[in-house]
């Protein structure tokens, strides 16, 4: 049985996590070396990933995981996470990660993020999507810019990771800035 596609781009599709994808996600979360210095180490996810998937499919209105997959093979290339930014803000935060180095630098994440912003604005009542990006993560900043996010400023020493404090840049997209139609999504993808 194939996984249901939410939306199709020129090179990738965006879809929920299927049971067969759990091995890929567990390997991605467990490979601390591949995570690099810009994505948080979340070992607690491993213990309950399958339980959470059985309960919700790893997606509901409060947050979740979407997979960016190769359009031809349906192989997961990356993921987009979404979750509440803060209980008192009308915002949802996004995080993303490309799984394999061969998929980097090919526009996979930019296309996946554009598709995700369109879908999430359609699904959620929020007016704002946010990204928090390490100032040293040049590739992620390029993805944010190409996807239409706007840099708003730097939160100093806002992230504690691996025993060190790090600055985080805040990027946002408002509903008014997002693609309003599938035609507009396709134009942004190029």
Answer whether residue 133 is part of any domain. Answer: yes
pTM over 0.95: no
Total count of domains within the chain? 1
CATH number at residue 78: 3.40.630.30
Residues with Cβ within 8 Å of residue 182, at least 6 apart in sequence = 7, 118
Q: What is the pLDDT of residues 44-59, one digit of tens each?
A: 455 688 888 988 989 8
Answer whether residue 141 is part of any domain. Answer: yes
Banded pLDDT at 1 (limits 50, 70, 90): very low
| Cβ atoms of residues 118 and 179 within 8 Å | yes
Is the per-residue pLDDT at 81 higher than 50? Answer: yes
pLDDT recorded at residue 136: 87
Residues with Cβ within 8 Å of residue 172, at least 6 apart in sequence = 91, 128, 129, 130, 131, 149, 150, 152
Q: What is the pLDDT of residues 148-167, one digit of tens each?
A: 999 999 999 988 877 888 88
Answer whether residue 1 is part of any domain. Answer: no
């Amino acid at each position: 049985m194939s996984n249901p596609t939410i939306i199709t781009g020129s090179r990738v599709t965006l879809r929920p996590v299927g049971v067969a994808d759990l091995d890929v996600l567990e390997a991605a979360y467990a490979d601390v070396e591949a995570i690099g210095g810009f994505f948080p180490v979340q070992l607690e996810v491993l213990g309950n990933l399958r339980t959470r998937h059985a309960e919700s499919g790893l997606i509901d209105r409060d947050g979740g995981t979407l997979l960016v997959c190769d359009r031809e093979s349906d192989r997961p290339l990356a993921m987009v996470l979404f979750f509440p930014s803060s209980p008192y803000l009308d915002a949802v935060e996004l995080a993303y990660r490309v799984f394999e180095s061969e998929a980097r630098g090919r526009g996979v994440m930019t296309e996946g993020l554009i598709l995700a912003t369109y879908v999430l604005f359609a699904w959620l009542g929020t007016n704002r999507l946010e990204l928090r990006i390490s100032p040293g993560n040049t590739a992620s900043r390029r993805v944010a810019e190409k996807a239409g996010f706007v840099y708003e400023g730097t939160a100093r020493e806002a992230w504690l990771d691996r025993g060190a404090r790090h600055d985080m840049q805040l990027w946002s997209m408002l509903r008014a800035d997002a693609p309003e139609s599938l035609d507009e999504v396709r134009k942004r993808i190029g």
